[in-house]
Structure 1
Amino acid sequence: MNENETKRLSRLTAILTRLQTKRLLTSTELADKFSVSVRTIYRDIRALEQAGVPIITEEGKGYSLMEGYKIPPVMFTEAQANALIIAEQLVLKNKDASFIKDYSEAIEKIKAVLRYSQKDKVNLLSERTRFDQNINRERNSNSLSELQFALTNFRLVNIDYINAGEKSTYRTIEPFALLSTENWLLVAYCQLRKEFRFFRLDRIKKLQVLNEHFEPHKMTLQEYFDKFH
């Protein structure tokens, strides 16, 4: 296989990966990404179609993959996907640009094999998670995965919580965001207090994710900070 064939095979694989990562891609976007002509992208799309890849062409919009098509055999549970997104947020704090690029490309490939429903959830979790610059302090929590699940599935959570005065309280909360400072913090709407509150994860002594759903809060994390802080 000569160099041109090797480059084309690599590009075809990358195009398939990107098609699985994003719901819609244009030929211009792909041409810019791989520094080739739009005509070359047309040929690449035809080659993938001839290989049996179910690509849907939307006139005037772009290309997408038929729902349900994915590269086997890699599959992730929702909890595993959420853990990877948390890791991605940590990596983005790294100062080495090449490391960030390599990890981001790896995460893109991982996202490509997630079902659309999972893809939406990990994107929400990514938007609702924030880290400060100090990522080396010890953080103790046994409930992060369960809270990630509740946050992305809009499920109510019951907690036994020890407040700053060392008193035990029982709350029903609506998880909204996760923040990493000196400790993990959960931003949640407290149904008892009828307002958003911060909860330290290391002070949650018992947690139960309920089957009951809550109405999603129609704001981003930044909008929350702008409104309440």
Structure 2
Amino acid sequence: MNTNDTKRLSRLTAILTQLQTKRLITATTLADKFNVSVRTIYRDIRALEQAGVPILTEDGKGYTLMDGYKIPPVMFSESQANALILAEQLVLKNRDSSFIKDYTDAVDKVKAVLKQADKDKANLLADRTRFEQNINRERNSDNISQLQQALTNFYLTKIDYTNEQGKISNRIIEPFALISTTENWLLVAWCRSRKEFRFFRLDRIANLQVLAESFTPHKMTLQEYFDKYH
């Protein structure tokens, strides 16, 4: 399968998701969303119809799925599942218990459609993430998604890190947990050069590279880490 075929297959799957989650959607909306022409969307809709998907056209309004038609559960990529797990940690800080229950129930349904290996990774990530809400936090990071993947797959990670004195050092680390404080995201990781667990502020990490080499998982929970080292 060439790149164009792969992109089209991905787009067709995404269009199915849009049809499943919206009552009506127009070709123009779909074209804008996927950055293609309206004519391309027309072809995609015909392809889905030829594949047996009962798509109805309401003149002047858009496309909709035939009432009662069910699409099999959508498979989440690992990074998409990780993003939902991270969002769950934020939701758990909400004071509305009904909202918390609805969201955690939804995340449970997401986990239910994951492959067992991805389910194990999602549960590991949930156990290794702590979140303190702070709407005024200004420091940012572009590395959370990569670090989540390194953490759950036990991949060594190479970083350039700037300390409080402004000195830059190159580190090989074993990501262990992600913690959001009231000021910034922190990564707990075993530093191979220092031979100990260290905290790394994510906004001080540059040139992050997840390596193909894996490390032996640390057999403890995040709470056990705190009990042992703090």
TM-score under structure 2 normalisation?
0.67
Residue 193 of structure 1 is matched in structure 2 by 194
Give matches, 1:40-55, under 5 Å: none
Q: CA deviation at 1:133?
A: 4.7
The match for 2:205 is 204
Tell me the C-alpha RMSD between the 2 structures.
1.2
Instruction: Look up the match of 1:147.
Output: 147
Q: Shift in Å at residue 139 of structure 1?
A: 3.8
Equivalent in the alignment of 1:164:
164
**In 2, Cα distance between equivalents of 1:126 and 1:135:** 21
Structure 1 residue runs of 5 or longer lacking an equivalent are: 1-70
1:137 Cα offset (Å): 2.0
Larger displacement relative to structure 2 (82-91 or 136-145): 136-145
In the alignment, residue 125 of structure 1 is paired with which amino acid? Answer: L
Identity %: 72
Matched, 1:107 2:123: no
The offset of 1:215, in angstroms, is 0.4
Query: Shift of the alpha carbon at 1:75?
Result: 1.0
Q: Deviations over 1:170-224 (max 9, x none)?
A: 0000000000011110000000000000000100111110010100001110011
Shift of 1:147: 0.3
Matched, 1:84 2:84: yes
Q: CA deviation at 1:144?
A: 0.4
Number of aligned pairs?
159
Counterpart Cα distance in 2 of 1:94 and 1:141: 23
1:217 maps to what in 2? 218
How big is each residue's C-alpha offset from its partner over 1:105-140, in whole Å with a ceiling of 9 and x where there is no partner?
Answer: 111111111110000000000000001253542340
Distance in 2, Cα, partners of 1:146 & 1:203: 15
Corresponding residue SS for 2:130: strand
Any idea what the Cα deviations from partners look like across 1:18-54, whole Å, max 9, x if unmatched? xxxxxxxxxxxxxxxxxxxxxxxxxxxxxxxxxxxxx
Q: Following TM superposition, where does structure 1 have runs of at least 4 consecutive aligned residues deviating by more than 4 angstroms?
A: none
Give me the whole-angstrom Cα distance separating, in 2, the residues matched to 1:166 and 1:93: 34
Give the match for residue 93 of structure 1.
93
TM-score normalized by structure 1? 0.67
Corresponding position of 1:7: none
SS of 1:149 mapped into structure 2: helix
**Corresponding letter in the other structure for 1:221:** L
Between the aligned partners of 1:205 and 1:219, the Cα distance in structure 2 is: 28
